[in-house]
Chain A
Amino acid sequence: MAHYLLVRLGQALLVLLGIIVLTFLLTYIVPADPARMIAGQSATAETVARIRHELGLDQSLPVQFGRYLSHIVRGDLGRSYAQKVDVGELLRSRLPATVKLMVAGILFELLIGLPAGVAAALRRNTWLDQAVMVGAFLGVSAPQFAVGLMLLYLVAFKLQILPLGGYGSVAHLILPAATLGIAGGGWYARVMRSSVVEVLTQDYVRTARAKGLPPSGVVLKHVLRNAALPVVTMVGLDFGTFMGGVVVVESVFGWPGIGQLAWQAIQIVDIPVIMGVVITSALAIVTGNLLADLVYPLLDPKIRYQ
């Protein structure tokens, strides 16, 4: 187990390092000139050259990368070109909003997807099953931004049940979380259904039934616990899947999270901020996967890491 843990951790670090290199190269080869962006279109060539020198952008690629890496190791993500603030500080101020949104989104998709999937599997090939599957397909195929805008129009504008955008209370959180989780709800319903169907055919379920356990006991004790395994992996992956969705959902609802931060930074080629967001989200994704792998064996005693 300890060996496995080390290998897995090493791999996670390797993936992170790879992403840092990749992002850095990407920002290096872009045709846009950050010094020109900061100086403005009307600045003289001397001003641009001075800014370039101050930022160290006139040095060679290995030197720049080495400096960046040594700063990251010390937890320093650099300063935003546009806002003259530490990137770490920007991320810290924006992260809570995004984390709230993601957690609420995950809760939403689990609350919708899991019961629907279990119900569909237990009532296989009935109208209920078909209705759930139709709903799942719709959720997976729906464009989030349009769903978000229509929810705003119907629920917030027409019915006036929830606030029209904004940030703060739980009421503000409901529509963005629902929008973020709508596709996931479909995925979970689908995966949970197929998982329960598979578990129901297993010998141990037959044994449990044969020994006279009531149906509810079979489902609760034997079926659900085993069927929930793929879901654990999926929750771990959700952080990655959500990073894209977060940009869209935050843009629709004016949610002050890192998705908006990234979006604004990309438009003005604020490289340190872009790097910061990419590294943060990669970290979240890698950690999510790692956690899912570590929780897995606790739930499934069949698996021993060697």
Chain B
Amino acid sequence: MKRMKSNFLSAVSRAEVWAGRRPGAATSPPDVTVNAGRQSPAVTRLRRPPQAWDRLKKNRVALAGVGVVVVVALVAILAPWLAPYDPAEQFAEGLSPAGEPFPPAARFWLGTDLLGRDLLSRLIYGARVSLLIGVVANGVALAIGTVLGGLAGYFQGWIGPVFMRCTDMMMAFPALLLAIALSAILRPSLWIVALVIALVNWVWIARVVYAQMLALSAREFVEAARALGVGPGRILSRHLFPHLLPTLLVWGTLGISTTVLFEAALSFLGVGVRPPTPSWGGIINESQSYFLSAPWLVAFPGAAILLTSLAFNLVGDGMRDALDPQMRGR
């Protein structure tokens, strides 16, 4: 009978359950002994990256996701050349004589918004905001989470429990409320929005890194390095960090999907990126009062958000399967 005493002393995040972690598994010290002897696939896989890559190449769904990500990234980068019009220009002929926006037609492919601006051009420029915030916010969250989770997992002692209680607290804090409050007070720029999202999202990554670090630092090669007199800094950066890379890669990708949705929700509530900068959530926010007459103003930006978020989810999931064959089809 496995002793599971302290496995349940802390909550398991939805994301951890999603990632295939059974509640309580590998999140706290007692499991170290359970996991330590086993050659975990998470550890062996880095030595054979070509295999992981081969597996990813065969995963058609994941490749489709990669395709969409590349397309969205290209659209964001090439926005000035791709957009048919200036996203901020209010066309007199973009509104009907009664002042109503036009549905999709030949002149304005996806129709116009309430101010007579071209929706397609605004969507194209909106990709920049979504991706930029998605990547930056998630990158910052990844960095904070890796450093804090990694240090807590490596040094253990009293730091571990304190760390777990702090993350418990962060997880019990309603993230969107916190972000709304911060954004509403700070009247944010794009970078502040990214920072706010990072501040409420790092905790998930920190817990995953912490769990893995606990298991890793009990392994023989770490013991050997310590015995040879290698300092903690070098052990962390040279011996342990490389083992975390696959996890970080997977979580970094899946996290972008969450971040894109989070930014869209903030912008929809009017506390994200400020107008006139076009963002997908913001476009829906501006059109909300009129959406029954002009549903395309909700449908197209909504589809853009869905597609981007979906693509990063598919890629992240494909990477997880490729890097950890045991998870395949699970």
A31 to B14 Cα, complex, angstroms:
34
Interface of B is mostly: helix
Q: Is the Cβ of B313 less than 8 Å from the Cβ of A244?
A: no
| Most chain A C-beta atoms within 10 Å of own C-beta, residue among B172, B281, B306, B317 | B172
Determine if A83 is an interface residue (Cβ-Cβ < 8 Å).
no
Interface size class of A (residues with CB under 8 A): 35 or more
Is A277 engaged at the interface, CB distance under 8 Å to the other chain? yes
Binds A, one of B120-128, B236-244, B293-301: B293-301
Q: How far is the CB of B166 from chain A (nearest CB, A)?
A: 8
Query: Looking at the complex, which one of A32, A146, A285, A304 makes contact with B302 (CB distance below 8 Å)?
Result: A146
> Size of chain B's interface in residues, with CB distance under 8 A?
59
B265 touches A244 (CB 8 A): yes
CB interface residues, B 65-92, toward A, < 8 Å:
none
List residues 239-295 of chain B with CB under 8 A from any CB of chain A.
257, 261, 264-265, 268-269, 281, 284, 288, 291-292, 295
A146 to B267, alpha carbons, bound, how many Å?
A: 12
Q: Are A15 and B165 in contact (CB under 8 A)?
A: yes
Give the residues in chain B near A190, CB-CB below 8 Å: 18
Measured CA separation A197–B330 after assembly (Å)? 7
Residues of the B chain whose Cβ atoms lie less than 8 Å from the Cβ of A18 = 165-166, 169
A157 within 8 A of B: yes
Q: Complex: how many Å from CA A198 to CA B20?
A: 10
Task: Say yes or no: is A229 at the interface (Cβ < 8 Å to chain B).
Answer: yes
A268 to B330, CA, bound (A): 48
Closest approach, in angstroms, between the C-beta of A50 and any C-beta of chain B?
A: 24
Chain A CB within 8 A of B231 CB: no
A282 x B172 contact (CB < 8 A): yes
Given the complex, which residues of A lie within 8 Å of B9, measured CB to CB? 7-8, 11
Contact among A145, A240, A251, A303 for B174, CB-based, below 8 A: A240
Partner of A149, one of B17, B298, B329: B298
**Least distance between A285 CB and chain B CB atoms (Å):** 4
A144 at the interface (CB under 8 A from B): yes
Bound CA span A267–B169, Å: 25
Q: Is the CB of A198 within 8 A of B330?
A: yes
Tell me if A223 counts as interface (CB < 8 A to partner B).
no
Q: Is B180's CB under 8 angstroms from A237's CB? A: no
Does residue A269 face the partner (Cβ distance < 8 Å to B)?
yes
Interface flag for B1 (CB, 8 Å) = yes
B28 part of interface (Cβ distance < 8 Å): no
Top 9 A-B pairs, shortest CB-CB distance = A146-B302, A244-B176, A141-B310, A243-B174, A141-B309, A18-B169, A233-B23, A194-B330, A289-B11
- Residues of B whose CB lies within 8 Å of any CB of A are 1-5, 8-14, 17-18, 20, 22-23, 165-166, 168-169, 171-178, 180-182, 184-185, 257, 261, 264-265, 268-269, 281, 284, 288, 291-292, 295, 298-299, 301-302, 305-306, 309-310, 313-314, 317, 329-330
Can you name 12 extra interface pairs (CB under 8 A) apart from A18-B169, A292-B11?
A19-B172, A145-B284, A187-B14, A190-B18, A230-B23, A233-B23, A237-B13, A244-B265, A248-B265, A251-B269, A266-B181, A269-B185
